[in-house]
Structure 1
Amino acid sequence: MQYGITLLTTGTGSNPRILAELAQEAEERGWDGVFLWDCIDVEKTLGPSGREACDPWIALAAIAMRTERIRLGPMVTPLSRRRPWKVARETVTLDHLSGGRLILAVGLGFIDDGGYVKVGEELESKVRAQLLDEALAILDGLWSGQPFSFQGEHYHVEEMTFLPTPVQRPSIPVWVVGAWPRMKSMRRVLAWDGVIPALQGDDGSFFAKMTPADLEAMQTFLGEQRTRTTPFDIVMEGETSGSDLERARSIVRPLAEAGLTWWLEAVYGTPETQGGVEGMRARIRQGPPRL
């Protein structure tokens, strides 16, 4: 079981220098990963503080230079509004800068993040899913370092050899948001290195809370369907109290027993972290709810 933190890139998290300082502190306090929101303008979600944001990729570069061990990446990058060849260049560069510590988490995208509705990007979920699949195929091909071309419905790549290759071999790990129990979404997950499960609730939305029983059912499906033998992560984000370790462990332990491999602490928006940067720093210093 590994433990990471998720930091906002908006409001109090909009200063990349501060994010790098917090990441360095997280490494010193025994956390295993630090992940940043990837959004443009989330005023609709967070209010006026959502207008102020920093670019996660530049902030991750700063984090890479301030840390040595901790894994890092976006949480999550909406590939459907990103040019995959540019993402390929950014990810390889960051993988080299960090010495092979990048994890790329991707999904369809949150249409209220300021990078869709306000700027005229594609909103139809079916099309965004197609864009995601094609972008992942292009990333995989470009990262290989071999001659690669691609002809899809949305993207076209004339033959190119993309160098250098990532530091990590066989490739940069990719975590994909999977809408459980929607089979089409979960089949996408099978081809990659990890899943960030989004549980479909009774109202049809994907904001329901995953229980250990849900994780066990998903783990069974993955074990039966996945043919790759490479390591596979199951990733969840949530909140625990750093001042009550036993209570924190009581939240994480059943999930770990059900197959969870990464717990990401949402270091924002909780009573302990309402104090802005110092509140986030205080929670980071309390350390992970390690079992």
Structure 2
Amino acid sequence: MAMRVSTVILPIYRWAVAADVWRRAEELGCHAAYTYDHLSWREPFRDGTWFGAVPTLTAAATVTSRLRLGTMVTSPNFRHPVPLAKDLMSVDDVSGGRLTVGVGSGGTGFDARVLGAEPWSPRERADRFAEFVPLLDRLLREPTTTDTGRYYSAHEARMVPGCVQRPRVPLYVAATGPRGLALATRYGDGWVTTADDPADEIARLAAACADAGRDPAGLDRVVLTGFGPLPDSPAGFVDLAGRYAELGVTELVVHWPVPDTQFAMDQGLFERVVTALT
């Protein structure tokens, strides 16, 4: 697979501004533009403007025509698979089949407390994710689903007419541990990491694919950057992309610049980087 370059556009802009940002991502040639699926996020974003992921992606679908759109990532922290599947099916329809759904197990941040409960332990998060992913997969594939689980159930849940993309929208699973990697190899169309040096994680993913009898070449491997040092030139990014490609990474995701945050980057540099990689 050839290396692709994508971006993450945080949902921090009123739509009068955001519409041009999403259009620009398409004009630059980005493969996809994702957004975070949180109700609020870490500082400095917690008390600032932050819109919902599903309405944002729906609106983005109406101002773009080629760009793939997606969550990076959605989690069980405040989502139930049944209403989530209905929303995702709807976005896939509005976008004409351009949706990719990144999913993860969630964490202990603001979203974990916003509904009034104590954050789950790591084991409970893993247990919930182990139910969440298979049920979401089934809901997105089948017109009617009934299933009873410990944490998530569905009773005659209708998903008609179903996804534009068949058999369902692609699922990209963010995972590092054995249980998460097993879910990625069984249900994922792609796998997501934020590691600066993903070599060890990719090796573990390959081992999980071998255990599952799956060809790892059929699984997209996505690196979400921005959580560690990044090159300061387009040439540096080209070199980074080349090294990742040698490891088997298929998609490099760079955050749309947000001044005065960890995602600060000169806008001109960002656009030159994207252009150099597309």
* Bucket of the pairwise TM-score, normalised by the shorter protein: 0.7 to 0.9
Counterpart of 1:5?
A: 7
Counterpart of 1:66?
A: 63
Alignment of 1:276-287 (within 5 A): 280=267, 283-284=270-271, 287=274
Structure 2: any 5+ residue segments left out of the alignment?
none
Give the counterpart letter for 2:192 in structure 1.
I
Give the counterpart letter for 1:224 in structure 2.
A
Does the CA contact (< 8 Å) of 1:26 and 1:284 recur in 2? Answer: no
Counterpart of 2:251?
A: 262
Give the counterpart letter for 1:127 in structure 2.
E
Following superposition, the deviation at residue 284 of structure 1 comes to 3.6
Separation in structure 2 between the aligned mates of residue 47 and residue 212 of structure 1, nearest angstrom = 27
Counterpart of 1:203?
A: none
Separation in structure 1 between the aligned mates of residue 112 and residue 199 of structure 2, nearest angstrom = 35
Alignment partner of 2:107 out of 90, 107, 110: 110
Separation in structure 1 between the aligned mates of residue 259 and residue 276 of structure 2, nearest angstrom = 16
Counterpart of 2:238?
A: 249
Separation in structure 1 between the aligned mates of residue 206 and residue 130 of structure 2, nearest angstrom = 24
Counterpart of 1:27?
A: 26
Matched, 1:83 2:80: yes
Does the CA contact (< 8 Å) of 1:20 and 1:63 recur in 2? Answer: yes
Following superposition, the deviation at residue 149 of structure 1 comes to 0.9
- How many residue pairs end up in the alignment? 269
Separation in structure 2 between the aligned mates of residue 47 and residue 107 of structure 1, nearest angstrom = 22
Following superposition, the deviation at residue 79 of structure 1 comes to 2.4
Give the counterpart letter for 1:2 in structure 2.
R
Matched, 1:231 2:218: yes
CA-based RMSD? 2.7
Counterpart of 1:220?
A: 206
Q: Secondary structure at the match of 1:115?
A: helix
Following superposition, the deviation at residue 171 of structure 1 comes to 1.2
Structure 1: any 5+ residue segments left out of the alignment?
199-208
Separation in structure 1 between the aligned mates of residue 38 and residue 71 of structure 2, nearest angstrom = 10
Does the CA contact (< 8 Å) of 1:41 and 1:115 recur in 2? Answer: yes
Identity %: 23
Give the counterpart letter for 1:87 in structure 2.
L
Alignment of 1:137-152 (within 5 A): 137-152=134-149
Q: Deviations over 1:36-84 (max 9, x none)?
A: 1122222xx3236643211111111111001111111111112242021
Following superposition, the deviation at residue 183 of structure 1 comes to 1.7
Q: Secondary structure at the match of 2:210?
A: helix
Q: Deviations over 1:207-247 (max 9, x none)?
A: xx442532552353254234356931111112555x73222
Does the CA contact (< 8 Å) of 1:108 and 1:128 recur in 2? Answer: yes
Counterpart of 1:205?
A: none
Give the counterpart letter for 2:15 in structure 1.
P
Counterpart of 1:18?
A: 17
Q: Secondary structure at the match of 1:53?
A: coil
Separation in structure 1 between the aligned mates of residue 205 and residue 179 of structure 2, nearest angstrom = 16
Give the counterpart letter for 1:235 in structure 2.
V
Following superposition, the deviation at residue 193 of structure 1 comes to 1.1
Give the counterpart letter for 1:6 in structure 2.
V
Separation in structure 2 between the aligned mates of residue 21 and residue 245 of structure 1, nearest angstrom = 23
